[in-house]
Amino acid sequence: MKKYNIGLVGVGAVGSEMIKVLKERNFPCGKVQVFASRERDEKILGETYHVLPATEDSFAGLDIVLFAGKTDVAIRLKDAVVKAGAKMIDNSRAFRQDPDVPLVVPQVNAEDLDWNKGVIANPNCTTAIMLEAVAPLHRAKRLRRLIASTYQAASGAGAPGLAELEEQMREHVEGRQPTVKAFQHQLVGNLIPHIDKFDETNWYTLEELKMRNEARKMLHAPELMVSCTSVRVPIARAHSESLNLEFEEDVTPEEAREILRGAEGVKLVDDPLNGGYPMPLDATDKYDVLAGRIRQDISRNDRKGLDMFVSGDQLLRGAALNAVEIAEHLVKRGLV
């Protein structure tokens, strides 16, 4: 089997998860070279990697470079990766709305990989989790409108967000005033309906607007109506979403369940009488998006609306796993 030399830019939570997934899925790796802001030895998942500075001269001899770092780093190094002949799979927001860059979840739109020009973008984690469950329904019944409320874990804000939640939990138990640094307000015992900056023209946050813009691009549905409210919740890991869906065609909960039973990347968890429904605790460290609480929208007088609830591990399903699956599909389609 041919081996592929892999580069990884960024050694934070998502970068470490990418290395874990490459190993778990037995990706045919040759050399794996890790890059960051400075040279050092870094222990990742029990193995020591010699980390090199990420520069324009870093990528010769690499086939695929996974970016798990900051947006400005991805922008600065993009041309160097392409010039070196490698494929760049970027987890930042840098290129998601670039018309020359495919934005891909393989189970949703793997065919878009065929027109890549050397760069492929990973969507925002909430979009990736949502579309795993929504895209199969869209293909069958044609989605027209989507209302989403997201319940996003502290680790979605990176290692500082998770560390702050853990520190606040200790402080709360000990009766001390919680320390607030990473978030706008105390998170423990609270919910914060504010993730990313506000767009002062419509007062949605950028996190909420990503759901609309990315869903439209990936589903090739530029007129899709989407409204989202994003909420930070005191959960360590895994995002959840409440979705209200309107379709062009009639659809019943039974039809939706049957579609999702056969959908790759989705696990149907819909047995509410016996406590069977998606929860972030059950989605943590799992590849699949959990989908359930599927029911007819009773606010309508037709059969074109459904409500459902999904949970997915945003570091894994929404980021690292998706990046590795893109790499797998590049290999499968002979694009690298």
- Our answer to whether residue 228 is catalytic in this structure is no
* Contact indicator for 231, 151 with CB cutoff of 8 Å: yes
Q: 256: which 2 tokens?
A: 């939706």
Q: What is the 3-state secondary structure (H, E, C) of the chain?
A: CCCEEEEEECCCHHHHHHHHHHHHCCCCEEEEEEEECCCEEEEECCEEEEEEECCCCCCCCCCEEEECCCHHHHHHHHHHHHHCCCEEEECCCCCCCCCCCCECCHHHHHHHHHHCCCEEECCCHHHHHHHHHHHHHHHHHCEEEEEEEEEECHHHHCHHHHHHHHHHHHHHHCCCCCCCCCCCCCCCCCCECCCCCECCCCCCEHHHHHHHHHHHHHCCCCCCEEEEEEEECCCCCCEEEEEEEEECCCCCHHHHHHHHHCCCCEEECCEHHHCECCCHHHHCCCCCEEEEEEEECCCCCCCCEEEEEEEECCCHHHHHHHHHHHHHHHHHCCCC
How is residue 68 written in tokens?
């798990």
Choosing from 50, 185, 220, 239, the catalytic residue is 239
Question: Does the annotation mark 125 as catalytic?
Answer: yes
The tokens for 75 are: 């922008």
Active site residues: 125, 239
